[in-house]
A and B are shown apart, each in its own frame.
Chain A
Amino acid sequence: MAKEMHPTPMLDQLESGPWPSFVTGLKRLAKDKDYVVDLMGQLEHSYKTRKGYWKGGTVGVFGYGGGVIPRFTEAKDANNKPMFPDAAEFHTLRVMPPAGMHYNTDVLRKMADIWERHGSGLIAFHGQSGDIMFQGVTSENVQPAFDAINELGFDLGGAGPAVRTSMSCVGAARCEQSCYDEATAHRTVINSFLDDIHRPSLPYKFKFKFSGCPNDCMNSIQRADMAVIGTWRDNIRTDEELARKWFAKHGMNELVNDVVARCPTKAIQLKEVKHLKAVPTVSTVAVSDTHGLEIDNRDCVRCMHCINVMTGALAPGKDKGATVLVGGKRTLKIGDLMGTVVVPFMKLETDKDREKLVELGQKVIDFFAENALEHERTGEMIERIGIVNFLEALEIPIDANMVSAPRTNPYVRMDGWDEEVAKIKAAKMVA
Chain B
Amino acid sequence: MAQPQMRRATESGVPDNRQFLHPLLKKNYGNWKYHDRPRPGVLHHVSHSGDEVWSVRAGTQRQMDVSTIRKLCDIADQYAEGHVRFTIRSNIEFMVSSAAKVAPLIAELEKSGFPVGGTGNSVSMIAHTQGWLHCDIPGTDASGVVKALMDELYDEFRREDMPNRVHLSTSCCEINCGGQADIAIIVQHTKPPKINHDLVANVCERPAVVARCPVAAIRPALVNGKPSLEVDEKKCICCGACYPPCPPMQINDPEHSKLAIWVGGKNSNARAKPTFMKMVAAGLPNNPPRWPEVSEAVKGILYAYKADARPWERLSDWIDRIGWPRFFERTELPFTKYLIDDWRGARANLNASTHIRF
Q: Are B312 and A309 in contact (CB under 8 A)?
A: yes
Q: Are B311 and A51 in contact (CB under 8 A)?
A: no
Candidate in B26, B55, B133, B141 with the most chain A CB atoms within 10 angstroms = B133
Q: Give the interface SS of chain B, mostly helix, strand, loop or mixed.
A: loop
Candidate in B212, B270, B286 with the most chain A CB atoms within 10 angstroms = B270
Q: What CA separation (Å) do A71 and B132 show in the bound complex?
A: 12
Q: How far is the CB of A131 from chain B (nearest CB, A)?
A: 11
Which of B1-9, B96-104, B221-229 binds A?
B1-9
* A56 and B20 in contact, given A11-B289, A330-B175 (Cβ under 8 angstroms): no
Q: Which of B7, B77, B208, B212 is close to A333, meaning CB atoms less than 8 Å apart?
A: B212
* A304 and B269 in contact, given A29-B66, A173-B29 (Cβ under 8 angstroms): yes
Q: What CA separation (Å) do A143 and B8 show in the bound complex?
A: 11
Show the binding face of B for A, using Cβ within 8 Å. Answer: 6-22, 25-26, 29-30, 32-36, 45-46, 53, 55, 59-70, 72-73, 76-77, 82-88, 90, 92, 95, 113-115, 127-141, 143-144, 147-148, 150-151, 154, 174-180, 208, 211-212, 214, 239, 241, 247, 252, 254, 257, 265, 267-272, 274, 276, 286, 288-290, 310-312, 343-345
Query: Cβ of A176 < 8 Å from any Cβ of B?
Result: yes
* A102 and B83 in contact, given A22-B61, A92-B134, A264-B271 (Cβ under 8 angstroms): yes
Q: Which of B34, B113, B130 is close to A176, meaning CB atoms less than 8 Å apart?
A: B34
Q: Which of A21, A315, A336 is close to B61, meaning CB atoms less than 8 Å apart?
A: A21
Query: Quick one: closest B residue to A45, CB to CB?
Result: B132
Q: Are A155 and B154 in contact (CB under 8 A)?
A: no
Over the window 150-190 of chain A, the binary record of Cβ atoms lying under 8 Å from chain B Cβ atoms (1 yes, 0 no) is 11011110000000001101101111101001010011001
Query: Cβ of A85 < 8 Å from any Cβ of B?
Result: no
Given contacts A123-B69, A216-B268, 6 further A-B contacts (CB under 8 A): A20-B68, A22-B65, A104-B83, A123-B66, A176-B45, A330-B180
Q: What CA separation (Å) do A170 and B140 show in the bound complex?
A: 32
Query: Cβ of A139 < 8 Å from any Cβ of B?
Result: no
Q: Are A101 and B66 in contact (CB under 8 A)?
A: no
- 8 pairs, CB–CB < 8 Å, chain A vs chain B: A14-B147, A46-B132, A52-B136, A105-B76, A135-B134, A239-B34, A304-B270, A374-B208
Query: Cβ of A223 < 8 Å from any Cβ of B?
Result: yes
Q: Are A122 and B77 in contact (CB under 8 A)?
A: no
* A335 and B270 in contact, given A124-B62, A128-B179, A154-B15 (Cβ under 8 angstroms): no
Number of A-B contacts (CB under 8 A): 356
Q: What CA separation (Å) do A238 and B143 show in the bound complex?
A: 44
The list of the 10 closest CB pairs from A to B, nearest first, reads: A312-B34, A17-B151, A25-B65, A50-B254, A98-B17, A46-B132, A214-B269, A191-B13, A19-B150, A105-B73
Query: Cβ of A108 < 8 Å from any Cβ of B?
Result: yes
Query: Cβ of A347 < 8 Å from any Cβ of B?
Result: no
Chain B residues near A374 (CB-CB < 8 A): 208, 211
Q: Are B69 and A332 in contact (CB under 8 A)?
A: no
Q: Which of B29, B60, B88, B254 is close to A51, meaning CB atoms less than 8 Å apart?
A: B254
Q: How far is the CB of B1 from chain A (nearest CB, A)?
A: 17
* A28 and B65 in contact, given A105-B82, A187-B14, A216-B268 (Cβ under 8 angstroms): yes
Q: Are B289 and A54 in contact (CB under 8 A)?
A: no
Chain A residues near B10 (CB-CB < 8 A): 150-151, 155
Q: Which of A115, A219, A220, A335 is close to B344, meaning CB atoms less than 8 Å apart?
A: A335
Q: What CA separation (Å) do A98 and B85 show in the bound complex?
A: 10
Q: How far is the CB of A362 from chain B (nearest CB, A)?
A: 16
Q: What CA separation (Å) do A373 and B310 show in the bound complex?
A: 46
Q: How far is the CB of A97 from chain B (nearest CB, A)?
A: 8
Query: Quick one: closest A residue to B181, CB to CB?
Result: A219
Q: How far is the CB of B272 from chain A (nearest CB, A)?
A: 6
Q: Are B34 and A242 in contact (CB under 8 A)?
A: yes
Q: Which of B29, B65, B148, B269 is close to A26, meaning CB atoms less than 8 Å apart?
A: B65
Chain A residues near B68 (CB-CB < 8 A): 20, 25
Which of A57-65, A284-292, A414-422, A423-431 binds B?
A57-65
Query: Cβ of A308 < 8 Å from any Cβ of B?
Result: yes
Q: Are B241 and A98 in contact (CB under 8 A)?
A: no
Query: Cβ of A273 < 8 Å from any Cβ of B?
Result: no
Q: What CA separation (Å) do A313 and B36 show in the bound complex?
A: 12
Within 8 A of B (CB), among A100-117: 100-109, 111-113, 115-116
Query: Cβ of A369 < 8 Å from any Cβ of B?
Result: no
* A22 and B84 in contact, given A52-B132, A90-B134, A262-B312 (Cβ under 8 angstroms): no
* A62 and B9 in contact, given A121-B66, A257-B311, A336-B276 (Cβ under 8 angstroms): yes
Q: How far is the CB of B247 from chain A (nearest CB, A)?
A: 6
Query: Cβ of A387 < 8 Å from any Cβ of B?
Result: no
Q: Are A258 and B311 in contact (CB under 8 A)?
A: yes
Q: Are B289 and A338 in contact (CB under 8 A)?
A: no
Chain B residues near A333 (CB-CB < 8 A): 212, 214, 241
Q: Are B134 and A47 in contact (CB under 8 A)?
A: no
Q: What CA separation (Å) do A111 and B65 show in the bound complex?
A: 11
Q: What CA separation (Å) do A168 and B190 show in the bound complex?
A: 37
Q: Are B9 and A63 in contact (CB under 8 A)?
A: yes
Q: Are A305 and B64 in contact (CB under 8 A)?
A: no
Q: How far is the CB of B317 from chain A (nearest CB, A)?
A: 8
Q: How far is the CB of A135 from chain B (nearest CB, A)?
A: 6
Q: Are A25 and B88 in contact (CB under 8 A)?
A: no
Candidate in B45, B77, B147, B276 with the most chain A CB atoms within 10 angstroms = B147
Q: Which of A92, A100, A216 is close to B267, meaning CB atoms less than 8 Å apart?
A: A216
Q: Are A214 and B268 in contact (CB under 8 A)?
A: yes
Chain A residues near B66 (CB-CB < 8 A): 29, 112-113, 115-116, 121, 123
Q: Are B214 and A332 in contact (CB under 8 A)?
A: yes
Chain A residues near B73 (CB-CB < 8 A): 105, 108-109, 112
